[in-house]
Amino acid sequence: MRLVLSLVAALLATAAAEDCPDNFILIGFGCYSFPSFETTWDDANEYCKFMAPPGTIGGLAHIEDCTQHANLWKHIEAQPDGKVNYWIGGKDEEEEGTFRWVSTGFEIPSEVPFWYPHQPDGWTSENALSLSKTGYFADESESLLQKFICQLL
């Protein structure tokens, strides 16, 4: 029985690893990539589109439920120097104070459970969404140079 279980576990692990293309890793149910350089929000989003393999669509990551938020942060915390600010795919430039995922247009709920206390606080000078080194969301100026998280959408 134990042998069967470990065979099943090995098969599942292989299947999971094959679910994401090169340069992407499976975290929870999504394929993510963590490029090593820092750039502006717009350039980060363009890079995520550019690095997606043919036949797939890439963009900055969107985090739409608590489980995925926790999965991603657990992965980040486990990396050496992982706890920094990362651009993710939300903006509030169309309607100040209402952040939306640019990939889907869905509104990002405010306050608990995603946002750091008292964020967003930058009004019209901060219109881009960051998964900050606190593990929670914050608004930042989109021209800041930060690391970023890409996702296959």
Q: Which residues bind Ca ion (CB under 5 A)?
A: 92, 121-122, 126-127, 138-139
Nearer to Ca ion, 58 or 140 (CB): 140
Least distance from Ca ion to the Cβ atom of residue 126, Å? 5
Least distance from Ca ion to the Cβ atom of residue 144, Å? 10
Furthest C-alpha separation in the chain: 61
78 in Cβ contact with 70 (< 8 Å): no
Nearer to Ca ion, 29 or 106 (CB): 106
Least distance from Ca ion to the Cβ atom of residue 99, Å? 8
Provide the token pair at 74. 């657990």
CA distance 46 to 63: 18
Amino acid at 97: G
Least distance from Ca ion to the Cβ atom of residue 140, Å? 6
Nearer to Ca ion, 34 or 136 (CB): 136
Nearer to Ca ion, 53 or 97 (CB): 97
147 in Cβ contact with 87 (< 8 Å): yes
CA distance 28 to 68: 6
